[in-house]
Structure formats: structure tokens, C-alpha cells
């Protein structure tokens, strides 16, 4: 029994299940096509790509995301960090020293993050999802 549990824990750890940001990176790495993401964002608002490259929301750590870079893994790591920090600032708004999202105060910044989350989610769910 101990051997089964130990092997199971090792497998979860190896697959990135212990670290949520790493798990998110693994999902993005497997399912997100950066070229398609850039095209979707450009069709939605052509200024967003430059915005993500030069700006980070005040409610997260400084995470600039250059979607035009050539190294795909670096882009996806930055993307995972940005999405994860946005999520944490919304979900853990009561926690101590972390940057926080403040309703109404940060609405404009959040509205610029939503297309990024939306188009990543659509690629994972719509393009790669399967009906069960």
C-alpha cells in the first residue's frame, strides 16, 4: 500500500500537479498555439499584444508577456505566470501582502486581462475538448 501511494505521489509531482503554476504551464504548453492566440487577440483588439509586452496589472507582480517572442517555452512560462497571478489576485484578495485586485479601482486593468484568459480557455476547451 505504501509503495502504491509513494508511486502515485511521485507521478503527481512529475506531472506538475503539486505546483499550480507549473500545472498551468504544462496545459498551456500542450494545448495553446501562440500564433493562433496572437491572431485571436489581434482580431479582438490590435493594441493588446503591445499592452501585454509593456504592461502588467498593478494587482500582480511585474509579469510582462511578449507574445511576439520567438521562444515558445519562454512565452508560455510568462503567460502561465501572468494568468496564475491574475487568478490569485482575484481569489486571494484577503491575503496579507500579495498584490490584490480591488473592484472598481482595477476594473480597466482586469478588462485587458480577460481576452487573454478567454482565448487561452477557448483553445483548451473548444479546440481540444472532447464530449464525454
Q: Are 110 and 100 in contact (CB under 8 A)?
A: no
Among 114, 47, 116, smallest CA distance to 79 is for 116
Range with the largest mean pLDDT of 12-16, 23-27, 34-38, 56-60:
34-38
Q: Is 132 inside a domain boundary?
A: no
Neighbouring C-beta atoms of residue 71, cutoff 10 Å: 9
- What is the mean pLDDT of the segment spanning 89-95? 72
Distance CA 90, CA 111 (A): 13
Q: Is 37 inside a domain boundary?
A: yes
Containing domain of residue 38, as a range?
A: 2-127
Q: Is 105 inside a domain boundary?
A: yes
Q: What is the predicted pLDDT for the residue at 130?
A: 80
Distance CA 70, CA 36 (A): 14
Distance CA 110, CA 15 (A): 30
Strands (E), 46-131: none
Mean pLDDT of the chain: 86
Q: Between residues 80 and 100, which one has the greater pLDDT?
A: 80
Instruction: Domain count for the chain, please give it.
Output: 1
Amino acid at each position: 500500500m505504501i509503495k502504491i501511494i509513494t508511486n502515485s505521489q511521485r507521478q503527481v509531482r512529475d506531472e506538475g500537479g503539486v505546483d499550480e503554476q507549473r500545472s498551468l504551464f504544462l496545459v498551456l504548453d500542450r494545448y495553446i498555439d501562440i500564433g493562433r492566440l496572437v491572431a485571436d487577440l489581434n482580431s479582438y483588439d490590435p493594441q493588446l499584444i503591445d499592452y501585454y509586452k509593456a504592461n502588467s496589472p498593478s494587482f500582480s507582480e511585474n509579469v510582462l508577456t511578449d507574445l511576439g517572442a520567438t521562444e515558445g517555452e519562454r512565452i508560455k512560462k510568462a503567460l502561465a505566470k501572468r494568468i496564475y497571478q491574475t487568478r490569485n489576485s482575484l481569489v486571494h484578495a484577503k491575503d496579507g501582502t500579495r498584490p490584490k485586485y480591488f473592484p472598481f479601482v482595477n476594473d480597466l486593468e482586469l478588462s485587458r486581462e480577460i481576452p487573454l484568459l478567454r482565448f487561452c480557455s477557448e483553445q483548451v476547451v473548444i479546440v481540444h475538448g472532447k464530449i464525454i
